[in-house]
């Protein structure tokens, strides 16, 4: 077995219509006064990107295959539960999460005030010290669909290591 593995994940969701009352949730944090994201689950693009990075690093498939829209029981699911399931599967495959690096691309809303809560949530779900979790934000300077404020893109990179103990 390798000593470490790296993975990357990407997820993008459009903002929901004004008629949709769901709120925006990113990395488990409810962002007030922002429209939610369209998705089969709660649409948490941050948690989804992390889950895909972990699955990729462990060579365990991808989020869509595991939790696809063809599974009606997952409609509206809490993405923290989906990510926790992935973390458990990664552990069962003989790996522990070493660190996470997440970038969220969104023209709106402003997210910097939620960074520490997002880091804390990711650390808790992935069984990490918060010092091993980075969350960053950027915009596309008004270019493209994201720049027009039509949705959110999240990217994640992770390192898997052998479990300690």
In this predicted model, what pLDDT tens digit does every residue of 96-116 receive, in sequence order? Answer: 999 999 999 999 999 999 999
pLDDT in the model for residue 153? 98
Q: What is the mean pLDDT of the chain?
A: 93
Report the CATH number at residue 115: 3.30.1330.50
User: Alpha-carbon torsion 145, 66, 161, 80, what sign?
Assistant: positive
Asked if pLDDT for residue 70 goes beyond 90, the answer is: no
State the total domains in the chain.
1
Residue 127 sits in which domain range? 5-161
% of the chain exceeding 70 in pLDDT: 95
pLDDT in the model for residue 66? 82
φ/ψ region of 59 (left if φ > 0, alpha if ψ in -120 to 50, else beta) reads: left
The answer to whether 106 touches 139, Cβ cutoff 8 Å, is: yes
pLDDT in the model for residue 1? 54
Closest C-alpha among 134, 107, 113 to residue 50: 134
């Amino acid at each position: 077995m390798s000593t470490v593995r790296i993975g990357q994940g990407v997820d993008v969701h459009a903002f929901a219509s004004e008629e949709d009352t769901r709120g925006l949730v990113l990395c488990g944090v409810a962002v007030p006064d922002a429209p939610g994201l369209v998705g089969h689950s709660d649409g948490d693009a941050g948690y989804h990107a992390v889950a895909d990075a972990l699955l990729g690093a462990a060579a365990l498939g991808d989020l869509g295959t595991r939790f696809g829209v063809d599974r009606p029981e997952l409609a509206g699911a809490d993405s923290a539960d989906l990510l926790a399931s992935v973390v458990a599967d990664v552990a069962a495959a003989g790996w522990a999460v070493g660190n996470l690096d997440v970038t969220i691309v969104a023209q709106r809303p402003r997210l910097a005030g939620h960074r520490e809560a997002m880091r804390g949530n990711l650390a808790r779900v992935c069984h990490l010290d918060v010092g091993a979790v980075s969350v960053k934000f950027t915009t596309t300077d008004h270019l493209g669909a994201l720049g027009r404020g039509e949705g959110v893109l999240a990217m994640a990179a992770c390192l898997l290591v052998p479990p300690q103990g």
